[in-house]
Amino acid sequence: MKILLIKNAIIVNSKDIASKPQDILLENGRIAKIAPSISTKEAEIIDAKGKLVLPGLIDLHVHLRTPGQEHKETVETGSRAAAKGGFTSVFCMPNTNPVIDNASIVESIKKEAQCVGLVNVYPVGAVTKGQKCEELTDIWELAQAGCPAISDDGKAVHNSQLMRLALEYSKMAGVFIIQHCEDPCLSHRGVMNEGLVSTTLGLKGWPEVAETIIVARDIELARYLKARVHFAHMSCGRSIELIRMAKAKGIPVTAEVCPHHFTLTDDLVRSFDTNYKVNPPLRTAADVAAMKEGLADGTIDCITTDHAPHAQEEKELEFDHAPFGMIGLETSLALTITELVEKKVLTFPQLVEKMSTAPARVGGLANKGEIREGLDADITIIDPKKEWVVRKEEFASKSHNSPFVGRTLKGFVETTICGGKITYQA
Amino acid sequence: MDKEAIRRAIMRIAHEIVEKNKGTEELCLVGIRTRGVTLAQRINACIESIEGGRAPLGILDITLYRDDLADTRGKPVVHETQIDFDITGKKIVLIDDVLFTGRTIRAALDALVDFGRPASIQLAVLIDRGHRELPIRADFVGKNIPTSPSQNVKVVLSESDNAEDEVLVENAEKKS
Amino acid sequence: MTEWTRHDLLNIRDLSREEIELVLETAKSFQEVSRRDVKKVPALRGKTVVLLFFEPSTRTRISFELAAKRLSADTLSVTAGGSSVSKGESLLDTAKNIEAMNVDLIVVRHAASGAPKIIADALGPSVINAGDGCQAHPTQALLDLFTVKERLGRIEGLKVGIIGDILHSRVARSNLWGFTKLGAKVTLCGPPTLMPRDVEQLGVRVTYDLKEVVAQSDVLMVLRLQKERQQDKYLPSIREYARLFGINKEKLKSAKKELLVLHPGPINRGVEISADVADGEHSVILEQVTNGVAVRMAVLYLLLGTKSKADGEEKDGSAVS
């Protein structure tokens, strides 16, 4: 394997941003050495002058659509999109067809991802067979096959008894549960946030209480069972309040938020543009403000994308009939810089915390999330000042259902290095 | 044409109408919105002073019968047509202010026949300015005014225009 | 007077008070046409109007068809079955196929909110929303406004009660905008389970007390109650609904003498309205139907008068004589 040498790197870790440039030597998939000046003959040199060097970004929430929906995304196109977005590790959700509810599917996805070789793919197994919320999957076998987490994402494990059992069992199996918080009775047929805008447009509402009820219930289960719950894609301010209270009491819960929930509001649905249809739905300006507050004060641990590709013909439908979801891998970093770092909600070290260090910690990825000698050589080099326009034709993803098309964003991924190998170069 | 000239012209038209129709029996007046209606009312008053009785008076809005609707930019405002009597078998005198291309009268004729089958339709206008595009002529004319097609003929009547009666020939503003 | 510059009519929410008044005044002029022996004027001769109905409707379709025919437009009724998904052809594909046949205006009825807007945004011909999901039914609101104005001479200052299933009613949503824009005070009354969240923020009052609404209103708009609402569990029973919110003669005892009772139809007699009220002195239900034709003629005329999106904006000041 080639040896890489990054010269003049301003290293950003979650703790701090380096005051002086350093050189980073990557060898055998590891960060071999960090020093003020390294010279070696056989290394390929990357000059990072004027750039920021971050630990590789980690996304705990991605839909790769494989198996079964390869017309939306494949492991290959999804990996390319991830690398282009600066990601070196992604968790892929199990709502595929068939559902990732047994070890053989986990293995086949891992194998395919290794063949593509652009990003570390960690399949998330289902909590219940077929995601039907009826019986548990073989959770231990899923863990053995390589699932760091289980989830019924796309739906909640809404049956409280089943959730209790899953939490107890997964503790033994050494995996954690990612909960999609949605009470299906309360959100039934809902397509957007319930409130003034849904009332005006005559669209069926998906009320915030459908989310908060599951958050509150799972906090209680986590407290009672001393088991960890990770809350996926939080959308409303009240959920953040509940999690803040739980954390203050030492209850083992963690949470993530997606860029669209800290940048967009339900007012945009007035256009009936189905790229704004997402689950959980876009909420109000007050909720957006609460997300920023939750990120800043540490209530929200991670930023994830909920990258959800859909084909154009699937999205070009009536708002009621179009599927939920938007892609996010290629815009997440720039949105976080533009909306949070530039607006002084987060610092760059905090960005690294939310997009790499915390996801590694929450996801149980021991040698990632930090730039330190001996850790995995997963590195993202960015130009924090460069502005670019999001263009439909330029997505590496197979789909382009993004509401951010046409926006000018700040922060540009220059180079992505995964396991010591360059996986993306602008 | 000043106020007095207009008054005389209207009186003369009224006399001619009565003479040609041998009185007011079966006679009906129909004014074309907007100034044709005012003229019809004035002519009717003159007829009353001559014959001692008025003819039934109808109001016609020809907007919906125009042949240039599709080319009109902005929307011509539609007003109500009020013809509260059966026109079948009647001698109708259609009244308008200016006769120009004849297209308005063509539209009015189309509209009238939708209301019934009159015995005859005659046409009275205050001004005939020439430049016909259709084979239409007036039976009663207040005044013939030769114009060039680019000119505008403006009829001002006190009832509808809030100013003293007059007829003006204006050169159209130059268009680039 | 305001000039009509719109290319489509998608909802009342977007219209200004002046635009609404222009439609009402234009409709007034069209009333007379329907009373003639020859009920036809050549205003839209050569224009093609397509009635694209993805959801069954008899009265709205007939009313539009009659309105278009009285203006001499050619009409074509297309009933597209069910949802576009089940049909295998998308909404846009269906609409684009119709556009390709050089039609001038498409009247769209669809079960999904926003569907007419999707068509209008993508296509050249004018689009009239003839009812979309629970969002809007602009011509219904316009004909209701017209009917009330004809009877009471004004809208400004009137007290209007809208009674029933507000949550699922596009008629309520459109009327709410129409009446408030013209200066009426609107009160919504119905079971709390059928009241949309935050609706007070749209400038209306909400009450569950029918008695109070009846006593103070100049206009009562009674909405159709769909029987499926009981199956959807929004209501304990249709019987209890009728007892609480059904309008009957007894409940109108405290009403003003000049009270108008409107209903968008079709009526469920004995559920939301009793026969003696539907056929009684306060009812203007059939006048609504009659006026519907004039209002739709006005809307068709106003939308088809301009040539195209591009040069529709231009104004021509020269007098036509």
Distance CA A361, CA A352 (A): 12
Distance CA B157, CA B161 (A): 6
CA distance C310 to chain B (A): 11
Nearest CB to C198: which of A195, A313, A316? A195
Catalytic residue among A59, A306, A376, A383: A306
Nearest CB to B98: which of C42, C298, C321? C321
C122: tokens are 């993508």
Type of residue numbered A425: Q
CA distance B54 to chain C (A): 25
What residues does each domain of chain B span?
Answer: 3-148
For residue C174, give the DSSP letter. H
Q: Is the pLDDT of residue C311 over 50?
A: no
Distance CA B72, CA B67 (A): 10
CB crowding A317-328: b at 16 or more within 10 Å, else e: bbbbbbbbbbbb
Q: Which residue of C has its CA nearest to A312?
A: C90
Cβ distance C42 to B65 less than 8 Å, yes or no, reads yes
Q: Is the pLDDT of residue C320 over 60?
A: no
Secondary structure E strands in C85-240: 105-110, 126-132, 159-163, 185-189, 205-207, 219-222
On whether ipTM exceeds 0.85, the answer is yes
Interface test with C, best of B59, B60, B61, B69 (most C CBs within 10 A): B69
Q: Is the pLDDT of residue B83 over 70?
A: yes
| Residue located via tokens 């198996």 | A67
Check if C19 contacts B (Cβ < 8 Å). no
C300: tokens are 């068709």
Secondary structure (3-state) at A252: coil
> Do chain B and C touch: 3 or more Cβ pairs under 8 angstroms?
yes
| Residue located via tokens 């993306």 | A424
Short-list B46, B173, B62, CA closest to B110: B62
Judge contact between A89 and A365, C-beta under 8 A: yes
What residues does each domain of chain C span?
Answer: 17-135+291-309, 138-288
Pairing type for strands A192-193 and A205-206 reads: parallel
Secondary structure (3-state) at C106: strand
Confidence of residue C216 (pLDDT cuts 50, 70, 90): very high
Nearest CB to C113: which of A195, A207, A319? A319
Residues of C annotated as catalytic are 59-60, 87, 109, 137
> Do chain C and A touch: 3 or more Cβ pairs under 8 angstroms?
yes
- Report the helix count and the strand count for chain C, using DSSP H and E: 12, 9
C147 CB neighbour count, 10 Å cutoff: 22
pLDDT above 70: percentage of residues in chain B: 93
Taking residues C51-59, what's their average pLDDT? Answer: 90
CA distance C119 to chain A (A): 10
Judge contact between B46 and B78, C-beta under 8 A: no
Judge contact between A182 and A279, C-beta under 8 A: yes
Q: Is B3-148 CATH 3.40.640.10?
A: no
Tally the C-alpha atoms within 13 A of residue B71's C-alpha that lie toward its C-beta. 5
Q: In whole angstroms, what separates CA A86 from the centre of its chain?
A: 12
pLDDT of the residue at A1: 64
Cis? peptide before C116, omega within 30° of 0: no
pLDDT tens readout for residues C95-125: 888 899 999 999 999 999 999 999 999 999 9
Query: Which domains are delineated in chain A?
Result: 4-52+376-425 (2.30.40.10), 53-363 (3.20.20.140)
**Average pLDDT, rounded, for chain A:** 97
Judge contact between A157 and A163, C-beta under 8 A: yes
pLDDT of the residue at C307: 45
Tell me the count of B-C CB pairs closer than 8 A.
77
Say which CATH superfamily domain C138-288 falls into: Aspartate/ornithine carbamoyltransferase (3.40.50.1370)
Distances from the Cα of A209 to the Cα of A56, A153, A212, A301, angstroms: 35, 18, 5, 22
Cβ distance A317 to C84 less than 8 Å, yes or no, reads yes
Check if C306 contacts B (Cβ < 8 Å). yes
Distance CA A366, CA C215 (A): 72
Cβ distance A202 to C84 less than 8 Å, yes or no, reads no
Distance CA C71, CA C289 (A): 18
The lowest-confidence range among A145-159, A223-237, A277-291, B105-119 is: B105-119
pTM: 0.90
Judge contact between A117 and A421, C-beta under 8 A: yes
Cβ distance B114 to C320 less than 8 Å, yes or no, reads no
Q: Is the pLDDT of residue A346 over 50?
A: yes
pLDDT of the residue at C2: 74
Nearest CB to C306: which of B73, B79, B111? B73
Cβ distance A318 to C115 less than 8 Å, yes or no, reads yes
Judge contact between A358 and A301, C-beta under 8 A: yes
Choose which CATH entry (3.20.20.80, 3.40.50.1370, 3.40.50.720, 3.30.70.141) describes domain C17-135+291-309.
3.40.50.1370
Check if A159 contacts C (Cβ < 8 Å). no
Judge contact between A282 and A269, C-beta under 8 A: yes
Taking residues C46-74, what's their average pLDDT? Answer: 94
B171: tokens are 């050169």
Judge contact between A150 and A178, C-beta under 8 A: yes
Q: Is the pLDDT of residue C87 over 50?
A: yes
Q: Is the pLDDT of residue C318 over 50?
A: no
pLDDT of the residue at C284: 97
